[in-house]
Amino acid sequence: MAVKVCITGAAGQIAYSLIPSVAKGEVFGAKQPVIMTLLDIPPMMKVLEGVKMEMVDLALPLLQEVIVTDDPLVAFDNVDAAFLVGAMPRKEGMERKDLLAANVKIFQAQGDALEKKAKKDVKVLVVGNPANTNAAICSKNAKSISPANFSCLTRLDQNRAQAQIAEKLKVPVPTVKNVIIWGNHSSTQFPDSRFAIVEKGAEKVPITTVNKDPAFAEYLKTDFIKSVQQRGASVIKARGLSSAMSAANASVDHMRDWWQGTKDRWVSMGVFSNGEYGIPAGLMYSFPVTVANKKVTIVEGLDINDFAREKMDLTAKELKDEKAMADSALEQKK
Ligand code: NAI
């Protein structure tokens, strides 16, 4: 049986890299057929027809059908998984609260449509910014779908953090494990390297044992954190466009691990807090998690020192404020 997958914002940059990976089997399995629905707004339908032509021309064995639409009710019909990439971009002069209000409307409508049409065990990954708050709003409007089936993308931040540590230590990227992103996908996120290890054969070596130089420990508390927090802005500055290839790649990593499991490592995902680590219950907050049988479990019992506590609370506060702003935008709509 084919897995039915929706990608929203399908005429955009991230989707252009994400679509082929999903269609080639990099997310749901190398032998798993897929049906793909692509959603965008009415002015983008011509572009989307072009994307569909290219998908046909990929001549892929796993891609059974492509459905292009501007109607969320069609896009989410019976879907098993959804990548919610499309969002209102920040325009010049636009205030944060206006951006949030515009996105609240989009994610409220998409939550409604998921509620009406998607499978009840659908896995929803929100990529469009502000990703955490958008995911929370979407879930709120899809009451019959478990909140555990909603998540948001912080895997790009994790990948950035992992790559920076690997580069500093001159080790292969996949051998660096258990770097954590806490909190919001924003510049208040806390990239936490305190539990990171390098795998050397069967041995797991803490990164500060791999490099014992006090300057490295200092870097981890200062420039490392800043450069991961600011990496998105640095890419925009250099490229003139926001991260797309790496965001698509991280979306693949996130959904693949949700679908197929994390095996022997932690990954970071934005998920609803149940009060873990003193983070208010109901906040969509990035935690270290493991996944088995499509069930996400927050890694518990990690030591939180004063340094970490302050940073974790700061990003939680930003999320609380965002949620309050979103709730007030929803109230005004009523
Ligand atoms: P883009 O502007 O190239 O594409 C966005 C697409 O979404 C456009 O085709 C637009 O027409 C569509 N769209 C807008 N409203 C829609 C709606 N109501 N329904 C369906 N489609 C809609 O943007 P790009 O580069 O693909 O980025 C998409 C989003 O992902 C942005 O919000 C961006 O900030 C976010 N992002 C998130 C990251 C993360 O790590 N969470 C990383 C990078 C980007």
Say whether both 221 and 298 belong to one domain. yes
The last residue of a domain, from among 131, 152, 173: 152
334 — pLDDT class (breaks 50, 70, 90): low
Cα separation, 197 vs 16, in Å, equals 34
CB 8 near ligand 1, within 6 Å:
yes
**Residue whose CB lies within 8 A of the most ligand 1 atoms, among 41, 83, 90, 152, for a mutation test:** 41
Q: For residue range 276-311, what is the model confidence (pLDDT) as tens digits?
A: 999 999 999 999 999 999 999 999 999 999 999 999
Q: What is the pLDDT of residue 332?
A: 77
Quickly count helices (H) and strands (E) in the chain: 12, 14
Say whether both 147 and 187 belong to one domain. no
Q: Which of 4, 140, 185, 231 is catalytic?
A: 185
Q: Is the pLDDT of residue 47 over 90?
A: yes
Say whether both 116 and 166 belong to one domain. no
The Cα-based distances of 82 to 18, 27, 41, 95, 167 in angstroms read 12, 12, 16, 28, 33
Q: What is the pLDDT of residue 262?
A: 97
The last residue of a domain, from among 152, 185, 214: 152
Minimum CA distance residue for ligand 1 atom 6: 9
The Cα-based distances of 45 to 62, 176, 212 in angstroms read 24, 42, 55
Q: 254 an active-site residue?
A: no
Q: Are 183 and 189 in contact (CB under 8 A)?
A: yes
Q: What is the pLDDT of residue 98?
A: 83
Q: Is residue 299 part of a domain?
A: yes
Q: What is the pLDDT of residue 330?
A: 83
Say whether both 233 and 250 belong to one domain. yes
Say whether both 164 and 145 belong to one domain. no
Instruction: State the Rg of the chain over Cα.
Output: 20
The vertex-285 CA angle with 297 and 300, nearest 5°, equals 35
Cα separation, 159 vs 279, in Å, equals 23
Q: For residue range 49-89, what is the model confidence (pLDDT) as tens digits?
A: 999 999 999 999 999 999 999 999 999 999 999 999 999 88
Nearest by Cα to 265 from 163, 206, 150, 177: 177
Q: Is residue 214 part of a domain?
A: yes
The last residue of a domain, from among 152, 178, 208: 152
CATH number for the domain harbouring residue 33: 3.40.50.720
Tell how far the Cα of 261 is from the centroid of ligand 1, in angstroms.
26
Tell how far the Cα of 11 is from the centroid of ligand 1, in angstroms.
9
Q: What is the pLDDT of residue 235?
A: 94
Q: Is the pLDDT of residue 16 over 70?
A: yes
ipTM for the assembly: 0.99
Say whether both 161 and 145 belong to one domain. no
Q: Is residue 111 part of a domain?
A: yes
Q: What is the bridge-based pairing of β-strands 295-298 and 150-152? A: unpaired
Q: What is the mean pLDDT of residues 204-208?
A: 97
Tell how far the Cα of 199 is from the centroid of ligand 1, in angstroms.
36
The count of domains in the chain is 2
Q: Are 285 and 270 in contact (CB under 8 A)?
A: yes
Q: What is the pLDDT of residue 97?
A: 80
Residue type present at position 238 = A
Q: What is the mean pLDDT of residues 102-120?
A: 96
Say whether both 130 and 172 belong to one domain. no
State which residues form the domain around 82. Answer: 3-152
Q: What is the pLDDT of residue 39?
A: 98
